[in-house]
Structure formats: C-alpha cells, structure tokens
Structure 1
Amino acid sequence: MANKISIELLMMILNNVQSPRSTQDLFSSLLVNRIWCRVTIPILWELPFGQECTMDDTKLRKRALCIRTYISCMDTQARTLLTQNGYDLSSSPPQAAFDYPSFAHKFGTDNLIYFISVYSQQIIGSDQDNDNDDYNNKSRILFREICKLILNRCSFLDYFKLAGVSKIFFRNFSNYSDLIGLIPKLPDTPKVLKKLETFVLVKVNDDELIKPLYESLALICDDILNMDLQFISHQYPQLLPEFISAQKRLENLSIAHSELPIPMFCAIISQKETLESLRLKSVNFHQLEGESSPTGEFVSLQKLYIANCTGLDNSNCLSLASSFTQLSNFHCYHSLYNSISYPQEFIIKILETANANLKHIFLNLYLPIPSDIFTAILNSCTMVTKLTLHDISIEQVIAIFNNNFNELTRFSFDYNGLDANKLLCQMAESVPVSLETLVIRMGIFNADSLRKFFEGWCCEGGAGNKKIIVKRTEQARLFKLSDEHLEVIEEYGIPNQLLQTHNSS
C-alpha cells in the first residue's frame, strides 16, 4: 500500500507544480483520488482570470468555458436576470460540485471580457448578431454579475488587473467604465482587496466613472508589493499618485507610455524606503523642468530599467539619479525609432553614484557607446559581473579587458567590423581570468584567430566552464564554421554546442 501524503504537503507540492502561464500539468492530479481532486480544484480555479490570455481561438474557447461554471454558481436572481436577457443557461445547471468563485485570488478585467465575449457568441443566437447595442448590453450584464459573484464569494484577491478593451472585443464592451466604477460600491470589496499585492493598469482612461475605484483603492490597499502602470492618462493627475503614495511596502514599480507629471514623480520618491525595482519605458519627463529639490537616498533600490524615456537630463531627474546609491542592476535602452537623443548626463550620474555596487550593466543606445559614458564605466563600475555594451570599438573592448574587472564573469558586445580576426587576436592578450561567458556579435574570423584567442582565455586549466557565443552581424550572415573551426573548439575542450552562431536579430 502506498504511503499517505498529508494534505499540507500535497498542497505544497501541487502549488509548486502550477505555472503562472498554464495549469495543464495539474489536470492529471484530478484523477488520482478524491483527496487529490479536492486539493487540486482550488489551485486550478485560483487562476482563470489571472493568467496571460492569448488570442489563439482554440485555447480562448476552452478557457472561456469557465463562464459556464461560474453561472452555475449564481443564485436564482442572477440566473433569472441572464435568462431574461437572452442567455440560454441549459449548459449551466443551477448546481456546482464546488464553490468555484471562492477559490479566485487573481482577477483581470481583460480576461473576463475575453471569456464573456467568446461565451456570448456561443450562447446568444446569431439572429441578434447585428444588434450591437443589444449585444453590448447583454455582455455588460454578464460582466457585472460575475464581478459581483467573485467579489462576494472569494476571501481575498492578491492580484487585480484593470485593462482597457481590446479592439477585437470592442463590439461587446464599447464602454465599461461605469461597470468598473461599481466595484468599490459592492459591500465585500474592502475585505476582498485588503490583501492586494499586485495591481496592473493598462490603457484605462481616468474618466469620472472610474474615479471612485482609484479613490477606494487608495483607502483600502496600503500593502501592495507590485504596480505595473501602462498607457495611463492624467485627466485626474492626483488619483494614481495618491494611490502609489499610500503604499507602505511597494517593492516593484513599472510605468510605461506616459507623461510623468510632478505628482507622479513625487509619488515615486515617496517609495524610496521600500522600492527594489523601478521600470520606466517611453515615459516623458519634460514636465519636471524647473528647480530641483533633494530627493534623498533610495535605500533598497536594486534594479533600474530605462527604455526610450525623454527629458531625463533635467535637474529633477539628475537629482533622482544621484539617489540610486544601492543600485546593482542598470538596464538602459534607446531605440533607432526614438528621434530624441539618449540621456547621457543621466546615465553617467547613475554610473558614478552606484559605482562599485553595480553588478549588472546593459547599455544599448543604438549609436556607439560615447567616450564619456564608457569612461564612467571604467572608472566607477569596477566590481561589475555582467556587462553588455552594444556597438563598441576594438579599443574599448581591450580597455575593458585591461581595466582589472576582477569580478567580470559575462561580457556581451557588438563589433560591427566585417573582419573580426584582429579583434580576437587582441582580446587574447588580456582576457580577464574571471570571464566565463563571452557573447559577441561580430563578423568573419578564421580558425587561427580563434585558436589564438582560446590560448589566451583557456591557458589555465583548459576550458572549464567557459562559454563563447558568436552572433553573426548582417554583413557576415553567410559565414559558417568550418571543420578547422570545429577542430579548434574540440582541441581546447569547449563542446561544439557551446559555440553558437545566430543570425543578427
């Protein structure tokens, strides 16, 4: 007889089997026995509205079937309302084996919209397909009833995503701001949202109907750990800043595709004691021009991601850069499509402020790395372990190798010259002993140059755990490794699969 597993241990095991993207691996555990089934069901039904949703027709239709189950859990009054509005509930009998809504701990309005849209197309007759107003009204009713069902039955939500309506489903939900505005009016909302840990906001207008939700969230939720704000407007510029400022232990903040008014800037600063990660993508800081005031030190901030932001060289932002003293991971990206120059002074200020604390640096400014930024890396970031620099010269590569970066384990760079033999030969003379992984996008090189580089890199104890990844530039896209190249790789103890060639991408 098989040994019995305690319920607590089984829950721990199955919770670790599930993936944020898929619950597929859990389905087989439903068939083991009744105990496994009772433990698995709550885990499976925690995620329907929290998983990432793709537009794959087959998968979307399968996942939309959860709407039928939720309808089975509704009371008589709600079911009667749906029937009166044209829903055929024959596939959703008024009974369910479990109290499925009580298991929900993650809720995204976008997933609910997707599922309702697919479900409504299947349930409501095709003779009503041309009546957009009627179709929209039916979908809104079902949305409201499921929101009420989940918020009334579940004990808490730790993830809440508020998203705009995709064009694909605009026919069903031409406007649902009033539905979102009703959420804070439900009696169980304060209890359910009190334990909220993650809040995501995507493409939602700050109109008058949604204003009550923001105001309620600021009063109810003060222990949020993660905020992700994308494509936000500022019709009411104080709403989101007040919500952010109300948090006592915010660790991760991401803002994308937005103007950044002064209240939002101040809200970011208000989290300087707890913030560990800050991501800013396509954010305009030009509204912050003017007199700067001391920011203070961000005592916990470890990771900073900047991509295609503008206006970062004003005095307020430079003061902000001087406050990132504990930064260990800095990622800055500036694309070809951004016509405004990259924030050179801001980048240098970060490098000089964080200095030896910086362990991971990623810089892709589209243009070659300028000498001032490169010098700041050499002089200030001496303890870096992972360094990625796009488009640098041979001289800059050799300067990195000669700079006594004793902790450098991974170095990645682009060299745009067609002939890479000179590069490999010069690198061989001063490759850091600590270097384990080298990633290069470069041109053509012969086997002799590769051998010379390996002689310099692997001279002590062979290849060990060393790894080189070569990515082809556009100029060298037809270049392939010859038998001579492969013999050199084998000679120095580097398995063939560790030298990878990729097209430029």
Structure 2
Amino acid sequence: MIELNHDCLWQIFTNLEQDKNSLHAAVLVNHTWCKVAIQFLWKKPFRFLYTCRKACKCLTEGRHKKARNLLATFITCIAQNQASSIINMQDFVIWTNAPRTAFDYSRFLRHIDLHDLFLALMDGVKYLISHKHLDYVIAFQHITKFLAPDDNWESAVIQEMARDICKLLVSHCSNLRYLSIDMANKQWSKENHRCSSLPNISFWITVKEIPEELLLIPTYPGATKSLSQLVEFYWGATHWTSEFLIALSKVSKRLRTLIIDMSNFGRNESNDHARNLGTLIKVQTALQEIQFIKCKPRVLPSIMQGLRTQAKSLRYFHFQGMVKDWSVFSELVHLTNIQELSFVKANFRCSEIEMLASSNFPNLTKLVFDTTSFRFPIIIPEIIIQSSGSKLRTFSLPAYFYPSYDGFVPTVALSVAKYCPNIVHFEYHVSRKEFSQLIILFASCQHLKKVMLAGNPEDANELFLQLATLELPNLREFEITAQWSYTVAALESFLVRSKAPLRSLVFRSSPCFSDDHLEAILRCLGDKLRKLYVESAQEMTKLMLSKANETITDFVYKMIDEVYNPGWLLE
C-alpha cells in the first residue's frame, strides 16, 4: 500500500475525509501519504479543531492551546505570502512565530465555518492572556486608547483580529468552496461530534456570539474572487443579518447546495430579512439542492419565493418543520425537474390535495415522508405516487399520523404496487389490514432490493407465509422495525421458499425473537448472510450467540427490557 500513487491515495482518503484520527495517522506513513492526508486535514481545519468522538474528555486548557497553535500555523502560512498592505501584520506578530511550514496550508482551505473561526479566535486569545505573552499585549496596545472604561479589552482584540483574519482569508484563500454559520449543531456526522469542552449553546443565541466583523466577510476586498466559487452555504445562525445576505448575494451565485437551519431562530427574524434570503436563492445560476430545517411558518413564504427561479436546476428538496396556514407545495409544484423530495416531522393541510392532484414530477426517483402528519384521511405521498411514480426507486413512509375515521384503510402499498414498477427501496409503516396490499406490492415490484417494515404489535405469521408463496429474486436487505410476533416455522418458510438472496436481516423491538429463530436463520442462510441485527425481549444463550458470531461477519444482539408501543400511529 505504501507504493500507491497520489491518485489512488486520493480516492482512498476521500472515504476517510470525516475521520480526523485516520488522517492524522496517515500523515506519519511517508511523504506521499503525508502530502495527500494534509490536504484533507486542511480542507476544514477549524471544524476539525472542535471535532471529537461522542462524550470526549477534552480539557478547556488543552483546547485553548490547540486553537493557539492552529492560528499561529495558519497565519504564518499567509504571512509568508503577504505581499500587499491590506493588513497591518504588526497586529499578528505573536501569531507569526511558528516555524516555516512544509506546505502552504492556506491553499488547501475549502471550508470555513464562521462560528468555528470565532471560537478558535476566542480560545487562542484566552491562551495568550493566561500565559501573559508580552508580545501579545504590546501588539494590541493601540486598541486600549479607543476603549471606554467599561469596554472589554479582550472582546475588542477578538473583534479586530476577526476583521483582519477575514481580510486575509478572502485575499489569500481563493479555493473556498463551503461557507457555513453552524451555531447549534452538536453532531456533524455519525461519528463526529462538537467537542464537549466547549461552552453550551443557549437556546436563544444572539448575534453577539459572532462578532459583526466575521459577518461582514462578503464585503471585504477580495471577497468577489474568493467567495464566487462557493458551492455550498449552510446558514445556521439565529439572527438575520441583512448586510451579510445582501453582500453574499452579490458575490456568490454558483451555489449548488443551500441549507437553512432555523433551529434557534426566534426573536429577530422579519419578513424583510427573510426576503434577503429569498434573493440569495433567486440569484443562483445552478442551485441543485436546498434544505429547510425546523422551519418557521411566518417567514417561510418570503424565503421560498425564489424557488421558482431554480425550477430547471433544482434536484433535491428537503423540508423539516410545521406548515400551519401555508402550503409548502404552492412553490414545489413548479419544480418539475425535481428528483428527490424529503419531508421530516412535517404536517400538511387539506389545500395541498387539490394542488398535488394536478401536479407532475416526471423525474422523481426518491420520495421520503418521515414522522409526518396529515389532517385528513388522505395520504399525500400516495397522491404524488399516482401522478409521478413511474421512475420512483426509493419510497419511505416509516411513521405517520392521520385522524381516525371508521372504515378508512390506507392504500399506499397498493398505489406503490400499481404506479411504481421500478421501486427498489421501500420503507413503510404497515398495519394488519394492509398485509394483503403488501403481498400485491411484493408480487408486482420485482426489482425490490431493500425493504423496511414498521408497525404496531401484530401477529405476522400470515404475512410471512404469504411472502413464502412468492419468489423474491432481488431482495437483499430486509428489516422489521415492529413488535410483530411470528413462529419459527413461518420465518423459516419465508427464508427458504421465497429464495430471496438476503445479505442483511434486521429485527428491532421484537417481543419473540429467540434462540430457535436464530438457529433457523443460520440453518437457512448460513454464511451467505453478512449482517444480522437483533433487538429482542427474549434472552438468548451464549452458545447460539457464539455460533452466530462465528458464522456472520456483522452480528449484533441487544436484549431489551420492554418494547416501545408508538401509540400515536393509527391503523
């Protein structure tokens, strides 16, 4: 592996770009590995500075020191190439004492999060103050004469440094691709979390937690060049900053991904400011993906007014939040080239039915409604399927709510069977009344590869025995996230007679899965099965667990004391 060339290593490290520890280890292998790994580490150095495993044991003092070292290295790189007089480098004298670097790290920078940058500045300054660096005090003596008696000298220093560092960034880092203000997210990926030693973020964050000097970054000389190449912008701040949004709209028009997280919005938003965000959407020339997270209904119409201008290019739309008196589909119906629609924890109104009945998304390949609610006994995704299901490959409706009406039975599975011949991935919360529809779906959709079924407590023997009468030549992954009871005989009949080439089986919240069920799986599938995950209220013997571990590469068993009954899900 040491002799792998640069291109091969780049492809490998692309799969590790979220894994800070592996990248650090790769730096020590040899010069070629180091050169490639460094480029990934310095794509987003300030985010990596605060990236840790869950429940890390970092100490505040150690965090301060790491921030100071990172800033010193970063600013030293830029200072070595500083040819203009944009910045008075005397202000950075204490930061430029790092040894000359082997690489120009600033060239590798692709991602800047303004909140991460602010935290690094704050931590770095605290480190210098706590260690009483004389050069640091001298460098910023000129600030003191402008301060009122009650002003905070430390905050004033951070503000001046924030302005100067932003000017350095936009004048020297022309390869920026990702800009974000992520003030509330505590988990950045499956394994990467915000360092637990950082101060807690209050629910009502104010704009004062990010200096205005950072939010002016699109206005500094050089921003037109450095920010014009941005492809992704994540807005997770709580304060609408019109000047920032207006300036960004003028310099960044090639965004492919725009994510608006309203998790902590509350006190300061207004329709005027929301329209500025709508303007940012309008001026984009090729926006492909947009996400609205925890939306606030009163400003949403002003933001989404720009969606129609992106109808030709937009491919992915994600929405999470309440709708109340405004229909999100009033704008979505114009996105006729959309390929993926995703709704999470959202509710919908009656007016959307008529709107969707005449709509068509001919290129739709993925449709997700997760933990959504409908105020009427008509399931909106079913309407979309009937008009736009011909190319659909993924459909997910694992948890949803609708009012109880006597005799009403959803026909979602039947609609998928009828209108989605190319479906490959199917997830659905199914009741016993819909088992017969499910059999029709399996019989009609021969391309099914991955199926997840959720549901309330049921006797599922009938379902397994009926599935056993079908041949499922492509089914490779099968998951039951439901409190279903079924005999060993019914399960074994399904595994043998359906001839499904299963590679992954998952049983969650099972009240009945036992040693006998496990033995039947091992007998029918043996080492052909690569993954088996079992959550059961039944205790299994060490002998069977050992046998499963020896046979199946990825085997996990968890005993649960009781199964959870999601009573809010109606049949």
Do the aligned partners of 2:215 and 2:244 also contact (CA within 8 Å) in 1?
Answer: yes
Q: Take 1:376 and 1:52, find their aligned partners in 2: how far apart are those partners?
A: 49
1:387 counterpart SS class = strand
Letter in 2 for 1:376: S
Residue 91 of structure 2 corresponds to which residue in structure 1?
81
For the residues of structure 1 that align with 2:333 and 2:460, how far apart are their CA atoms?
A: 46
Answer yes or no: is 1:17 the counterpart of 2:13. yes
Contact 1:67–1:115 (CA<8 Å) still a contact in 2?
A: yes
Equivalent position to 1:427, from 464, 467, 482? 467
Q: Do structure 1's residue 305 and structure 2's residue 347 form an aligned pair?
A: no
The one-letter amino acid paired with 2:108 is F
1:230: how far off? 0.6
Amino acid at match of 1:110: H
User: 1:332 offset after TM fit, Å?
Assistant: 0.3
User: Are 2:140 and 1:143 aligned?
Assistant: no
Q: 1:491 aligns with which of 519, 523, 527?
A: 523
Q: Does 2:520 match 1:501?
A: no
The Cα of 1:144 is off from its aligned counterpart by 2.6
Does residue 118 (structure 1) correspond to residue 159 (structure 2)? The answer is no
Residues 410 and 435, structure 1, Cα contact 8 Å, conserved in 2 = yes
Alignment of 1:121-200 (within 5 A): 121-125=126-130, 133-164=152-183, 168=200, 174-176=208-210, 178-200=212-234
CA drift of 1:353 comes to: 2.0
CA offsets 1:414-463 (integer angstroms, 9 cap, x no match): 243354434323332346444333211343333222222234313xxxx6
Deviation (angstroms), 1:280: 0.5
What's the offset of the Cα at 1:501? 1.2
> Secondary structure of 1:416's match?
strand
Q: Encode CA deviations 1:150-187: one digit per residue, 9 max, x unaligned.
A: 22211231111123479637899834352234313311
8 A Cα contact 2:348 2:375, kept in partner: no
For structure 2, which runs of at least 5 residues remain unmatched after alignment?
A: 133-149, 185-197, 403-407, 536-559, 565-571
Say if 2:428 is the partner of 1:389: yes
Does residue 286 of the first structure (1) align with residue 325 of the second (2)? yes
Pick the aligned partner of 1:451 from 467, 492, 497: 492
Deviations 1:204-260 (A, max 9, x none): 311xxx322212222222211111111164442321111111111111111112235
Q: Distance in 2 between matches of 1:370 and 1:68?
A: 65
1:271-299 Cα deviation digits (max 9, x unpaired): 11111111111153634599x69954522
Deviations 1:318-367 (A, max 9, x none): 359824221111110126xx7x7489453233112212211111103344
Change (3 A) 1:67 1:215: same
Deviation of 1:408 after TM superposition, in Å, equals: 1.9
2:411–2:434 Cα contact (<8 Å) kept: no
Aligned twin of 2:74: 70
Q: 1:400 aligns with which of 422, 433, 438?
A: 438
Letter in 2 for 1:25: S
* Aligned mates of 2:96, 2:26 — CA distance in 1: 25
Contact 2:115 2:210 in 1 (8 A): no
Tell me which moved more, 315-324 or 95-104. 315-324
TM-score normalised by length of structure 1: 0.80
Alignment of 1:296-375 (within 5 A): 296=334, 298-299=336-337, 301-315=338-352, 318-319=355-356, 322-334=359-371, 341=375, 344=378, 346-367=380-401, 370-375=409-414
- 1:221 is aligned, of 243, 249, 252, to 252
- Displacement of 1:262 in angstroms is 3.1
Gap regions ≥5 residues in structure 1: 84-88
Count of residue correspondences: 476
Deviates most, 429-438 or 252-261 = 429-438
Q: Secondary structure of 1:365's match?
A: strand
Give 1:86's aligned residue.
none
Distance in 2 (CA, whole Å) between partners of 1:428 and 1:146 is: 66
Residue 251 in 1 paired to residue 288 in 2? yes
SS class of match (1:136) = helix
Alpha carbons of 1:43 and 1:453: their partners in 2 closer, same or farther (altered >3 Å)? closer
TM-score normalised per structure 2: 0.72
User: Is 1:273 aligned with 2:312?
Assistant: yes
Q: Distance in 1 between matches of 2:465 and 2:32?
A: 65
Q: Return closer, same or farther for 1:164/1:409 CA change in 2, 3 Å cut-off.
A: closer
Give the one of 45, 49, 52 matched to 2:46: 49
Contact 2:254 2:284 in 1 (8 A): yes
Match for residue 201 of structure 1 among 235, 241, 261: 235
